[in-house]
Amino acid sequence: MNSQGEKVLRNEMSKYLLGMGVYPNINGFENLINSVILIVRSEKPYENIGQVFEIAGKKTNKSASAVERSIRTLILRCEAAHTFNKLNEYFGYTVYRENYPISASELVYLFATKLSLSDLT
């Protein structure tokens, strides 16, 4: 995918996150977007999410664990603000329930699947 295609994916992800009250100044914002784009752009599946976090971390000089931790922090902020219900609106069906916490890898793959199935890719 060319840089224009990546820009379109980045803009779409930004809209989703901004709609959930996640702003660019939050550490996990860029890490989540980078991780999702890596999966969407990949021609073959990654063996594990750790590889994705490691590659995404190289873009921001962070370790894989720091990337995962920043996405978890983003998740906790959304849960505290009760903005994760927006995910259900984005997908058109229930993908998030308050009594079932979502993991960093689940969130990355949810958004990657959403963007892969859209007309953007």
The string of DSSP codes covering 3-39 is HHHHHHHHHHHHHHHHHTT--TTSHHHHHHHHHHHHH
Domain of 107 in residue numbering reads as 3-117
Nearest to 35 by CA among 66, 57, 2: 57
Give the chain's residues under pLDDT 50: 1
Please, how many CA atoms are within 13 Å of residue 85, restricted to the half-sphere of its CB? Answer: 6
With beta carbons less than 8 A apart as the criterion, state whether 5 and 121 touch. yes
Average pLDDT of the chain? 90
Domain harbouring 53, CATH code? 1.10.10.10
pLDDT at res. 53: 96
Express each pLDDT in 2-15 by its tens digit.
587 889 999 999 99
Count of domains in the chain? Answer: 1
Express each pLDDT in 101-114 by its tens digit.
899 999 999 999 99
pLDDT at res. 37: 95
